[in-house]
Structure 1
Amino acid sequence: MRPSLLSVSLALCLSSTAAVAAPDGEPRDFDQIVVTATRTERAISDVPNTVDVIDRARMDTLLVRDIADLFRYEPGITVGSSFGRFGLNDIRIRGLGGNRVRIQTDGIAVPDAFAIGSFSSANRNFVDLETLKRVEVVRGPTSSLYGSDALGGVVSFVTKDPSDYLRDGDTAHVGTKIGFEGANEGLFAGATAAFGGERWSGLAAVSHRQGKETESMGGIGGEGAARTQANPQSSNGRSVLGKLVFAPSDTQRFKLTVEGNEDDVETDVLSSYGFQSLTRATNTQVLGNDHQSRARITFGHELDGLSSALADGVDWQVYRQDSRTRQDSVEVRRVPSGAATIRDRREREFYFDQRSYGLQANARKTFETGSVEHALAYGIDIERTETKQKRDGRRIFLDTGVVTNAMSPDTFPVRDFPISDTTKASLYVQDEIAFAGGAFRLVPAVRVDHYRLEPEVDSIFREDNPATQVADLHETSVSPKLGFVWTFADAWSLYGGYARGFRAPPYNDVNIGFTNFQFGYTAIPNPDLKSETSDGLELGVRYSGDAAYASLSTYYTQYDDFIESTRYTGIDPVSRLMVYQSQNIADARIRGVEFKGGVYFDSFAPALAGWSLRGAAAWSRGEDRITGEALTSVDPLTATLGVAFDQAAWGAELAGRFVGRRDRLPTAPAGSIYFESPGHAVLDLYAHWNFAPGTRLNAGVFNLADRKVWQAGLVPLIAASSATLDRYTAPGRNVAVSLSVDF
């Protein structure tokens, strides 16, 4: 699909922007209230950023079960994945992902991602989407409000409250939900109970999920490196969300939240069976058993209607959050040794644990200076996190029964960086200044962050790195922002501004340490790392009418001092080892254009009541400013377009996903050409039926035409001549269904 696809999408959506009113009582997309963009409750049409909102009703309609489903129709937001064992791994916004995007649940950042080697990959996929009432995404640098790790943007998960179920004077609610996914033969079930009275209310939600590997359109099975079918997997997970709310008056609320989520995945890694050229061994069995869990407890207080010179309202919360990733791997091998063959079993264990304590406090104050209105927001964030990582293992010689903890290049247990305590303390201030009766709003903001890293060297790290000198790190960063919204005509507004982002040097890059004498290399710490930074400019125009909505924006973001982990720096003159060290070396820029719009057709004719059209598109370009090479994380032209019909009892939607050819890739090694995933168009069909009071059936058919497609964000740099390209294909035609019953 070439750029004409964007033109078609824009024309279809903008051609009807003068249409008529939407169904009575249904909120317009740009009238939805968001909090993440400004830390105050504002309609999307009043914020100076590009913001996406996916509410609970939309998640149910789209049968969302994971983060890939969640952002299926959000061009410019990509969910990464890997073939083999570890699956979904990160969320990329405008080409930037990993720990450079802040992902948070109820304002609390989810744990970090960390990966090293082939047997360890801790991701950030810690949230059960069934517990959410809304997801908000702010695109672009957002450090002025959220500090480090908001370099590329913010994904904010907002969990359900008792008030979401107790309406029209209800004092109790019970609901259940079950469903099936064809792509991975997945089953899920959940139950929710809520109660409420004059002062007390509460909520308890539990869910269970299980499934198999997500299918691809690879046709080669069996064992070995030629396999293109997904490796056999068995997964199961569960979650719980509990909330207790006490409202001693109409102006204040105390809230206690308990949340837990865990997943287990077992994988038979058939693609790693057979002869391995690097180790000269033949694998007869490769198994993975992966577990991850997250638990948090939060106590918060909201107070409104204050008569204070400092604040009209305040809220604060204290929290503790614990996460654990444990990944166990088993290899059974035959290794040639002279004329004999050694049979051994290698068992590896990887741990990545984080424990965080924090305090967040926010205040809001409105006042006037002459004819100018101010909405001041300010607050503090304090968080202390302990991070532990460890690899352990043993080698068992099956013919002799000898067991050793030496498994080249490691003698286990080892830590790849010392136990690290990080403290983040920050203060932010933002003023929303309204001129001319609110027609022009200026939004300056600034945040000051202090970051402190304190490593703790224990016996495990010291034994593996006897000469490594670790370092403390103290860093202070100032992140300004200046945004504006100008309503220059009825329903029309111009918005945009400048924002700076930063990311403090990670603990693992500052104090990484390991040495491999067999292969002649060592990795050393770098206490002189600088923070990664970004400077972003954005300009857009919105239309938000009764009948239609549209937004067209352009952005340019420059990134400086990107950290390249374990970069080769030369030969140590004493040890003669190759030296690797994390360094600030990469600068990049990403620019693009984004569109989102929709039309409601109700007043064309009474017969068109319930019909609507929605579409979105994103075009971007990114390159390394030093080498001039294209950035592999930036997607090609992407667009979505859907037409829907919705009535009280039933509805349906036909949605299309369109992706251009991925033809901007770095230069391949001499004699090789990287695979350019071809453009494609995929159609999905949804339907829902409310066949009884409180009962709703949702169904979906994905990839209606059963086309073989490669999703650009899921394809690594791989030679065009590779025989395993089909590994990275998306599922063929598949179905999903869910049934919910509320009492």
Structure 2
Amino acid sequence: MRRPWWYTYGWITTAGLLGGGAFAQDTPAPHVPVLDTIIVRALKEDLTLEQTAASISHFTQQEIDQRNARTLSDLFRYEPGVSVEEGPAGALNDVRIRGIGADRVLLLVDDVPLPPSYSFGRDVATNRNFFDLDAMKVVDVIKAPMSTLYGGSALAGGVLMRTKDPEDFIAPGEQFGGEVRMGWQSRTREFLAGVTTAAHLTDELSAFMRITQSRGHELANHLGRGSGDETGPARERPDPADTRMSNVLAKVVYDTGADHRFSLSYENFRNQVEQDLLSDVGPGRMMPNIVAQPPLFPYEQLENHTRSINRREQWVLRHEFQRSGPLFDKGYWQLDFQKNKTLQESEELRKTASAPAIPGIANQLRYRTRDADYHYRSAGLSAGFNNQIDAGSAQHHLSYGWSLRRTKAHTMRNGDSIDLYAGRSVEHETLPVQGEPDSTMLEAGLYVQDRLALYDGRVELIGGLRFDHYRLSPEKNTLYEASNPQALPPASMRESHLSKRLAVLYHPSDQHTLFANYSEGFKAPDFNDVNTAYVNDSYRVVRQANPDLKPETSRMLEVGWNYRDDQRYLSLVGYHTRYRNFIEFKPVGRNAMGYTVTQTVNLDRSHIYGFELKAGTDLLHFASGSVVGASVSAAWARGRDLDTHEPIDSVDPLTFTAGLNWRQSDRFFAELRLRAVGPKRESEISQALKNQGVTRTPGYATLDLFGEYKFNRSLVINAGVYNLLDRKYWSWNRTQLQHLRADTFHRHTQPGINAGVTLKYLF
């Protein structure tokens, strides 16, 4: 079999990195890779990457800037085992870790979880775009179940983000500081502008405020922007869109410099996307995977305009302290409040066709509107403590804490249909309507973890336990009862779960670490999984509630080897994860009226296994202080439903990256990065997706160039050119989640050659 050119190149490069390279052996003054000094807090204690016994990736503010990253898709572009699904305007739809996403990946901003996604029928589908990456100073990715520390929703792992602090903008010895930032990228024609001011008000008190705004358009495909008047599912250009984002972040910090640090932060985020869905024009769409018959009210779509607004308002009060005592050496407590709101609106122009069963509706010109509200409020109180205990030949590092969170969810859908010829309402639904009752969720957790060091630290054992209790309490609601008169009474739910973790680390030398890690995850059913109910007469669909749902669970075993010295690093990990009781929305039969009955149900068993590689080395050192380095990464995975023996579509194909970088002190950085993705073959695609015409996607390779240059202390430029070879390709994580038909593939290509630049002025 003939191998693609990047396959041979990749393995030659990998062999060179692992072999050490002749260039690096005799060079003086070796450069210490940044990874050697990384301290991560993702596991609720200050650890180096070698001590974590887990697959964790750590991104600092410098790395975010150097990659010119505006979204998580930009930041995780070369990260093995992590993929990001982007929306039509480049916004975040979903994050998948090792093939699992859809709210099974925990997203945290300052230890506060972002709301889960929500969908209702054809008109409502929210995303997880509730934050501004430009406000973050650190992003950590845990690629493993971690419910022993973070409770529910960390079924497959998590993305943990921390916002910036006043000291990030104030130079040592100065009282005031700040920055002005401007940026532009061609793939969404987005223009970004931000201003930050920070000050030391006293020796112990500091504060800053940051305002960021951006304006953009639809995410381009290989043909470019969403221009032209071509309509229908076969449209090849993206649908036109306009986007607006604004974010305000303010923080006050009181730091004694010794034992106590208080911080109070406020963030107000707003993102708006308006779309003209030209691809939706034409005969009324079916509902994929649900309905096999035409709608009861057939129509032709003439126009469809949508607007979606995400808002998040968050307050966080946090106290970190150090105080030696019998119970702890240091710890923290945090109080937070978050208010999220999603508004989705649509305006459609439809021309109805004749329906033999319903005379008199032919040739109506209908103006149809739908407004959907999704409110999600949460308040949390948590605390954590660390304690070092010296027991002679053994040392214990004990971590323990608790968390309590109360969340309230509210949904409502409204609208009307007006016959423009007759000038009257012809809406067949009773609106407004609620598909689920207002619900309150209470989550309480208690965790403890012990790190035991033996034989002068050569061997470490980690054991962790967490007990979680989840309670769902639906409220009596007249609107819900009127909307669903035949539905079962809303069900409450109480679930408890014990999560476990056990890890072993062996350090044969200061450079080598071998580890084995067993960890568990769980996720309680969301409020809409349990109690959503509705009847859609147009498509003859009934949604039934399911009060008997069980929590989703995961069990993972991974083994790995980490190597680091002054000039090289290597991480090789193999893993196997078993999942039980996945919650999935699917048809379960038909009722006496012939309507399709749908429900969220628990699937039985599935598993995903694979390996990941990350390696890097310094190749050349110059007398001027410049260093030339190289890096590679790879991810391979397979997944299967153990009952149906069908492959899991969300697992990405083989991915390989290789890069050459040039850096000079802290002033200049440039990297040329190859990213190659293998084909998704027919044997790796489920029958359900094949039935929609998705039988395979071709492999591809792209080449990117990006970097940073500091003209002086005050002026910094970051720039990148992506897909330098202008390759036409499809991203699998976007293709399979869109449930595409074969005739829509051209519209969903990725952008061709594109560029981005950011200019930052520090004062």
Q: TM-score range by the shorter chain?
A: over 0.9
Contact 1:235 1:265 in 2 (8 A): yes
Please tell me whether residue 107 in structure 1 is matched to residue 111 in structure 2: yes
The C-alpha deviation readout for 1:142-164, integer Å capped at 9, x for no partner, is 11111110000010011111122
User: 1:347-496 maps to which residues of 2 (within 5 A)?
Assistant: 347-403=369-425, 406-407=427-428, 410-467=429-486, 468-496=488-516
Please tell me whether residue 533 in structure 1 is matched to residue 539 in structure 2: no
Contact 2:303 2:350 in 1 (8 A): yes
Question: Which residue identity lines up with residue 474 of structure 1 in the other structure?
Answer: R
| 2:50 counterpart SS class | helix
1:325 corresponds to which of 327, 334, 342: 342
The C-alpha deviation readout for 1:58-97, integer Å capped at 9, x for no partner, is 11111111121111111210111355x7953100000000
The C-alpha deviation readout for 1:631-659, integer Å capped at 9, x for no partner, is 11000100111111112443321111110
1:74 corresponds to which of 67, 74, 79: 79
Question: Which residue identity lines up with residue 360 of structure 1 in the other structure?
Answer: S
Deviation at 1:606, TM superposition (A): 4.0
1:580 corresponds to which of 593, 598, 605: 598
Partner of 1:202: 207
Contact 1:372 1:434 in 2 (8 A): yes
Please tell me whether residue 225 in structure 1 is matched to residue 233 in structure 2: yes
Q: 1:469 to 1:672 in 2, by over 3 A?
A: closer
| 2:134 counterpart SS class | helix
CA distance in 2, matches of 1:738, 1:679: 31
Question: Which residue identity lines up with residue 53 of structure 2 in the other structure?
Answer: P
Partner of 1:216: 221
Q: 1:12 to 1:212 in 2, by over 3 A?
A: farther
Question: Which residue identity lines up with residue 635 of structure 1 in the other structure?
Answer: D
CA distance in 1, matches of 2:462, 2:597: 47
CA distance in 1, matches of 2:628, 2:538: 68
Partner of 1:346: 368
Question: Which residue identity lines up with residue 33 of structure 1 in the other structure?
Answer: I
| 2:17 counterpart SS class | helix
Q: 1:74 to 1:659 in 2, by over 3 A?
A: same
Q: 1:375 to 1:13 in 2, by over 3 A?
A: same
2:54 corresponds to which of 36, 49, 54: 49
1:98 corresponds to which of 96, 99, 102: 102
Comparing 240-249 with 371-380, greater Cα deviation is found at 240-249
Deviation at 1:521, TM superposition (A): 4.3
Q: 1:687 to 1:568 in 2, by over 3 A?
A: closer
Q: 1:725 to 1:179 in 2, by over 3 A?
A: same
The C-alpha deviation readout for 1:466-502, integer Å capped at 9, x for no partner, is 2321111000000000112211123011022100111
State the Cα RMSD in Å.
2.3
Question: Which residue identity lines up with residue 447 of structure 2 in the other structure?
Answer: Y
Partner of 1:559: 579
| 1:592 counterpart SS class | strand
Partner of 1:547: 567
Runs of 4 or more consecutive aligned structure 1 residues displaced over 6 Å after TM superposition: 21-25, 669-672, 717-721
1:657 corresponds to which of 659, 675, 698: 675
Deviation at 1:5, TM superposition (A): 6.7
Question: Which residue identity lines up with residue 591 of structure 1 in the other structure?
Answer: Y
Q: 1:424 to 1:369 in 2, by over 3 A?
A: same
| 2:687 counterpart SS class | coil
CA distance in 2, matches of 1:718, 1:455: 32
User: 1:161-310 maps to which residues of 2 (within 5 A)?
Assistant: 161-196=165-200, 197-218=202-223, 222-248=230-256, 250-276=258-284, 278=294, 280-304=298-322, 306-310=323-327
2:639 corresponds to which of 593, 617, 622: 622
Partner of 1:589: 607
CA distance in 1, matches of 2:579, 2:271: 35
Comparing 620-629 with 339-348, greater Cα deviation is found at 339-348
| 1:723 counterpart SS class | helix
Contact 2:671 2:707 in 1 (8 A): yes
Q: 1:556 to 1:729 in 2, by over 3 A?
A: same
Contact 1:326 1:349 in 2 (8 A): yes
Deviation at 1:678, TM superposition (A): 0.9
| 1:58 counterpart SS class | helix
How many residue pairs get aligned? The number is: 734
Comparing 518-527 with 280-289, greater Cα deviation is found at 518-527
Question: Which residue identity lines up with residue 154 of structure 1 in the other structure?
Answer: G
Q: 1:385 to 1:671 in 2, by over 3 A?
A: closer
Deviation at 1:12, TM superposition (A): 3.8
Question: Which residue identity lines up with residue 636 of structure 2 in the other structure?
Answer: W
Comparing 38-47 with 460-469, greater Cα deviation is found at 460-469
Contact 1:22 1:547 in 2 (8 A): no
Normalised by the length of structure 2, the TM-score is 0.92
Q: 1:66 to 1:399 in 2, by over 3 A?
A: same
CA distance in 2, matches of 1:326, 1:586: 35
In structure 1, the gaps of 5 or more residues are none
Contact 2:312 2:340 in 1 (8 A): yes
CA distance in 2, matches of 1:248, 1:607: 41
Q: 1:515 to 1:276 in 2, by over 3 A?
A: closer
Partner of 2:39: 33
Deviation at 1:530, TM superposition (A): 1.0
Q: 1:221 to 1:703 in 2, by over 3 A?
A: farther
Contact 2:268 2:311 in 1 (8 A): yes
CA distance in 2, matches of 1:130, 1:667: 41
| 2:364 counterpart SS class | strand
Deviation at 1:294, TM superposition (A): 0.5
User: 1:10-21 maps to which residues of 2 (within 5 A)?
Assistant: 10-16=14-20, 19=24
CA distance in 1, matches of 2:329, 2:278: 61
Deviation at 1:602, TM superposition (A): 4.4
Contact 1:47 1:485 in 2 (8 A): no
| 2:53 counterpart SS class | coil
Contact 1:387 1:420 in 2 (8 A): yes
Contact 1:449 1:477 in 2 (8 A): yes
